[in-house]
Structure 1
């Protein structure tokens, strides 16, 4: 009889051993599953990089903002007309301000979409004209390459580019020949492209 009880105990221990191993395996796979669900291995920060580029461009002394030469103070959102007249000068300034090394992360196209009508906004300046400002680029070669990788075409290609358009309200600062400084409200349309990796 004692032998039967020992066999029964060994049988129950063996049976519970399998149950314990099954529960332990189930708990282990549940933990692995939960870790994979809640841990993100890939975080796409393209949009944040592009927004940071625009903010740095508009609000930084090294960007497009007007900086007083005497005090060194920058005026966010105010763009000096003399600095944006020549696309070559502005592209050189942007290349100096934003350097991504050998791997460019962002290409941009800038266009002034609404320049002020002076006679309506300020009747005193009826004779003064503000010439149409040209569009300009940051990293033009890559912009021309990446602009075809946006839209529906990028759904079927391995390589694609993300496109972000922002219209920013700015003020254009223009100094006339008499040394009088005038300010004109305007809008700057910025089209940013960044390759998806």
Structure 2
């Protein structure tokens, strides 16, 4: 059953986030389903993610804001498993810690903050800062091969976007990398991802 309260709240939050977006964060609502919000996080300066563009989505329950959304990251980061539900106090993994007063902006700011920390949790992976930087440099190229990214962020442009797309090569994920073609950093990443 579609909840009018949830839809009303999501529409208000969309207006608020469009009026005053949090730093390093953009959102786009799936035009077929208001309960699915795509986000784009820009890697903050002076972090291993600097220069990176990280796409993921939030899937809100029909009783939002009384229950938290599922959070997934789609772009490889070296911090989160890709397309895997993240176990955070602001996600559907922990409804007992959820606060209905939290907004989408709060959720995404919390996600970005958690991304910058090294606290382990379900849905996270451990990699070196060098691996995270490698992913950051290849993130836009990866994103541009993903139809959901192109659909929801058609105007997303980053410095060196064309170079990143050409460096990324054919449509492969990190799990398809051939370790014989990789630098030491990339070899470490391939071993971690199996």
TM-score, normalising length: structure 1:
0.23
TM-score, normalising length: structure 2:
0.23
- Bigger relative CO (Cα 8 Å, ≥ 6 apart): 1
Write 1 or 2 for the structure with the bigger share of strand: 1
Write 1 or 2 for the structure with the bigger share of helix: 1
Larger of the two Rg values belongs to structure = 1
